Amino acid sequence: MADQVEIKLATADDAPAVLDFLRQAATETDAVLIPHLDQVTVDQERQNIEMINRFDDCVVMLAMLGDQPIGIVTVMVLGDRPDTGELGVVVAKDYWRNGIGRLLVEEAEYWFENYSSLSSLVLSVFTINKPAIALYQHCHFVQTGTTTEEGKPALLMEYQR
């Protein structure tokens, strides 16, 4: 499956498909933590993508199967740590455990190492999401702590080159 998937940088023209994808994914898992997702308009999403693409240390990439997004990976600078990017990955439920998440994480790592000036790449993942934890460990993320998100325990992890 992963060999049929193309990874591309998101553009403003992708805004309608990105918004539809994220809204659908939010119904499939409680790991999609995007505040007010139901209130975001296509124009706002278009502006968000354009703004992200202007920054050197932020990126949005899509996993595309044909013209349909089936996954997304983001790296966003943490407001209180401007040298640190936070990784976010979402894959459509129909494509879980097909290598799409790994493909997206590896693309983000490549971008981080070769194009960003960030000094670290971090993420948080719910402790009950064992497949994601295994994926991140396989992709060289190590646990650095614990936290609570949305009232649920989560691991803090950092990429180790």
E-assigned strand segments in 24-138: 59-65, 68-78, 81-91, 120-126
Query: What are the φ and ψ backbone dihedral angles of 148, each rounded to 5 degrees?
Result: -125, 130
| Average pLDDT of the chain, as a whole number | 92
Q: pLDDT digits over 69-106, tens only?
A: 999 999 999 989 999 999 999 999 999 999 999 999 99
pTM of the model: 0.92
Kindly report, residue by residue over 110-150, the tens digit of the pLDDT: 999 999 999 999 999 999 999 999 999 999 999 999 999 88
